[in-house]
């Protein structure tokens, strides 16, 4: 037993010596080996995360009166849907309404006068003018004959000078009445003068302008919805006064929710990655387990301060961000609420079962990507055409085959 134990111990020492030699060989060869990778099939999945907030197709719209006054009524409540042009609130406007009625009456009067001038005299008026002219002519002829007779009698000394003068006055008066009747007759048949009609038309235009002005004053007492949408906030109650110094302060706020979008804050480190049309996944704590989808439709032009933060206390709060707008698919309408905070995942690339290599294997020469491929015991530079990429890998479209061994840059 003792001799057997010595043999076992000797074997152990030999085994340890062999293992030590093998370890030294592996270490020595590993130091001299170059880092490599195989071209393989896999998935490219490039995405960035951000915080966001749901808003309507338009930004929040603040509605306010243009003129001061006392609020008569507010016709809507928060959360109520409204239509474009719907009256949402109104100031007291009895005085403005009275002026509209007065201006409308003046317009009707001016239009009636213009109609009379354009139509001219009626048939019975023309016949009356003809009869008056005939009567005036007969009276004038009779007065003329009476004057000539009185003149002869005066020359014979039968009539006095006073009687002759009276006959002359009656003749001249009759002639003047005949001339007036003739002018009235001609006017009845010729119609009114163009300048009279033009003056009447100007009066109508002036009356219409005054009516439009009065109606505009009434319209200024009414607050209408500029578009279809939903009321977000109501700030006043009936009886409150809108003072000149508070003009412009919102009475109501609303949003166009025909389409919903998310305003996402992209970290400054990801600004170069974002692009229009990228698919986005939206989640919210209020809808656990549900994922809403959308597309990037607008990218901001300048970075700014971060305003949305997650629950992680270690999250940096002094980072610059780029605002990006994501239009949500229709399924989100009626579910997500305007103002709701959400988490956003923007998928920049996603391809499955495609040829991929590590990004570190690619180097650029004269604008062309290359990789080093092992051929036997040598490395050969080969140009490649690349596709999508993520944080670790890049898609190979041309230049390599599955199983090729490539060199990874240290």
Rounded to 5 degrees, φ, ψ at 396 are -105, 120
Q: Tell me: do 272 and 403 sit in the same domain.
A: yes
Query: Are the C-beta atoms of 292 and 332 separated by less than 8 Å?
Result: yes
How sure is the predictor about 231, in pLDDT bands with cuts at 50, 70 and 90? Answer: very high
Is residue 78 scored above 80 in pLDDT? yes
In a domain, 76, yes or no: yes
**pLDDT the model gives residue 210:** 94
Calculate the alpha carbon distances from 197 to 111, 114, 116, 118, 378 in Å.
11, 7, 9, 7, 105
Domain around 180 = 102-215
Which contiguous run of DSSP H or E holds residue 263?
strand 260-267
At 320, which CATH number? 2.40.30.170
Mean pLDDT of 128-149: 86
Q: Tell me: do 228 and 146 sit in the same domain.
A: no
Whole-model pTM: value is 0.54
DSSP 8-class letter at 132: H
Q: Tell me: do 275 and 398 sit in the same domain.
A: yes
The number of beta carbons lying within 10 Å of the beta carbon of residue 20 is 10
In 174-258, the DSSP E strands lie at 222-224, 229-234, 241-242, 252-255
How sure is the predictor about 339, in pLDDT bands with cuts at 50, 70 and 90? Answer: confident
Is residue 95 scored above 50 in pLDDT? yes
Crossing angle (nearest 10°) for helices 161-190 and 123-155? 160
Calculate the alpha carbon distances from 215 to 155, 219, 350 in Å.
77, 6, 60
Is residue 377 scored above 80 in pLDDT? yes
Crossing angle (nearest 10°) for helices 94-119 and 194-219? 160
In a domain, 383, yes or no: yes
Q: Tell me: do 262 and 395 sit in the same domain.
A: yes
Query: Are the C-beta atoms of 328 and 294 separated by less than 8 Å?
Result: yes
User: How far apart are alpha carbons 43 and 316 in whole angstroms?
Assistant: 31
Q: Tell me: do 154 and 172 sit in the same domain.
A: yes
Of the listed ranges 114-118, 155-159, 214-218, 299-303, the least confidently predicted one is 114-118
Q: Tell me: do 146 and 291 sit in the same domain.
A: no
Placement of tokens 């610059």 in the chain: 320
Task: Tell me how far the alpha carbon of residue 288 is from its chain's centroid.
Answer: 33
In a domain, 249, yes or no: yes
**pLDDT the model gives residue 327:** 92
User: How far apart are alpha carbons 323 and 310 in whole angstroms?
Assistant: 16
User: How far apart are alpha carbons 402 and 41 in whole angstroms?
Assistant: 7
SS3 sequence, 245-307? HHCCCCCEEEECCCCEEEEEEEEHHHCCCCCCCCEEEEECHHHCCCCEEEEEEEEEEEEEECC
Q: Tell me: do 347 and 389 sit in the same domain.
A: yes
Which contiguous run of DSSP H or E holds residue 178?
helix 161-190
How sure is the predictor about 127, in pLDDT bands with cuts at 50, 70 and 90? Answer: confident
pLDDT tens by residue, 10-29: 555 656 666 666 655 444 54
Q: Which of 238, 251, 246, 244 is nearest to 71 (CA)?
A: 238
Mean pLDDT of 366-393: 91
The number of beta carbons lying within 10 Å of the beta carbon of residue 295 is 16
Q: Tell me: do 66 and 171 sit in the same domain.
A: no
**pLDDT the model gives residue 33:** 65
At 74, which CATH number? 2.40.50.100
User: How far apart are alpha carbons 304 and 267 in whole angstroms?
Assistant: 10
Is residue 325 scored above 60 in pLDDT? yes
Calculate the alpha carbon distances from 366 to 362, 381, 387 in Å.
13, 14, 18
Domain boundary among 194, 215, 236: 215
pLDDT tens by residue, 382-402: 999 999 888 889 999 999 999
Placement of tokens 């919210």 in the chain: 284
Taking the CA atoms of the chain, what radius of gyration do you get in angstroms?
A: 50
Is residue 83 scored above 80 in pLDDT? yes
User: How far apart are alpha carbons 142 and 86 in whole angstroms?
Assistant: 76
Query: Are the C-beta atoms of 355 and 396 separated by less than 8 Å?
Result: yes
User: How far apart are alpha carbons 359 and 371 in whole angstroms?
Assistant: 10
**pLDDT the model gives residue 13:** 60
Average pLDDT value over all residues in the chain: 85
Q: Tell me: do 142 and 280 sit in the same domain.
A: no
Q: Tell me: do 111 and 180 sit in the same domain.
A: yes
Q: Tell me: do 294 and 245 sit in the same domain.
A: no
61-63 sheet: strands from edge to edge = 61-63, 252-255, 229-234, 81-82
User: How far apart are alpha carbons 332 and 294 in whole angstroms?
Assistant: 9
How sure is the predictor about 31, in pLDDT bands with cuts at 50, 70 and 90? Answer: very low
Calculate the alpha carbon distances from 259 to 72, 147, 305, 407 in Å.
33, 97, 27, 50
Query: Who has greater pLDDT, 316 or 156?
Result: 156
Q: Any bridge partners for residue 37, and if so which?
A: 406
Residues 201-239 as b/e (b if ≥16 CB within 10 A, e otherwise) read eebbeebbebbeebbebbeebebebebbbbbbebebeee
Domain count, the chain: 3
pLDDT tens by residue, 155-192: 888 888 888 888 889 988 988 998 888 887 777 665 56
Of the listed ranges 82-96, 129-143, 278-292, the least confidently predicted one is 129-143
Query: Are the C-beta atoms of 254 and 76 separated by less than 8 Å?
Result: no
**pLDDT the model gives residue 9:** 60
Which contiguous run of DSSP H or E holds residue 315?
none
Environment class of 312 (CB within 10 Å of its CB; exposed 0-12, middle 13-18, buried 19+): exposed
Q: Tell me: do 174 and 191 sit in the same domain.
A: yes
């Amino acid at each position: 037993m003792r001799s057997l134990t010595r043999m076992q111990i000797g074997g152990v020492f030999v085994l340890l010596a062999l293992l030590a030699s093998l370890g030294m060989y592996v270490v020595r060869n590993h130091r001299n080996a170059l880092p490599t990778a195989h071209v393989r099939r896999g998935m490219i999945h490039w995405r960035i995360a951000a915080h966001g907030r749901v808003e309507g197709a338009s930004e929040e719209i603040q509605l306010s009166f243009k003129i001061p006054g006392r609020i008569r009524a507010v016709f809507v409540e928060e959360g109520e849907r409204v239509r474009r042009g719907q009256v949402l609130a109104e100031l007291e406007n009895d005085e403005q309404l009275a002026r509209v009625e007065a201006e409308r009456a003046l317009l009707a009067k001016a239009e009636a006068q213009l109609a009379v001038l354009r139509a001219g005299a009626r048939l019975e008026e023309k016949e009356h003018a003809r009869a008056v002219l005939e009567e005036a002519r007969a009276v004038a002829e009779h007065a003329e004959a009476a004057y000539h007779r009185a003149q002869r009698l005066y020359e014979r000394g039968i009539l006095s000078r006073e009687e002759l003068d009276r006959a002359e006055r009656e003749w001249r008066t009759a002639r003047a009445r005949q001339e007036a009747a003739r002018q009235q007759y001609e006017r009845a048949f010729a119609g009114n003068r163009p300048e009279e009609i033009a003056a009447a038309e100007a009066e109508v235009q002036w009356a219409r302008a005054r009516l439009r002005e009065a109606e505009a004053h009434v319209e200024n007492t009414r607050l209408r919805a500029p578009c279809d949408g939903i009321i977000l906030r109501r700030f006043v109650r009936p009886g409150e006064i809108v003072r000149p110094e508070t003009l412009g302060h919102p009475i109501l706020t609303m949003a166009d929710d025909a389409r919903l979008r998310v305003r996402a804050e992209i970290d400054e480190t990801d600004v170069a990655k974002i692009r229009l049309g990228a698919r986005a996944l939206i989640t919210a704590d209020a809808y656990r387990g549900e994922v809403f989808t959308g597309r990037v439709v607008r990218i901001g032009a300048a970075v700014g301060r971060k305003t949305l933060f997650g629950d992680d206390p270690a999250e940096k709060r002094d980072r610059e961000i780029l605002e990006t707008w994501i239009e949500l698919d229709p399924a989100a309408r009626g579910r997500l609420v305007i103002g709701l905070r959400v988490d956003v995942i923007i998928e920049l690339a996603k391809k499955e079962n495609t040829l991929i290599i590590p990004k570190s294997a690619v180097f650029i020469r004269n604008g062309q990507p290359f990789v080093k491929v092992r051929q036997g015991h040598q490395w050969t530079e080969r140009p490649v055409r690349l596709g999508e990429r993520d944080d670790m890998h890049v898609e190979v479209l041309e230049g390599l085959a599955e199983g090729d061994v490539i060199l990874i840059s240290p």
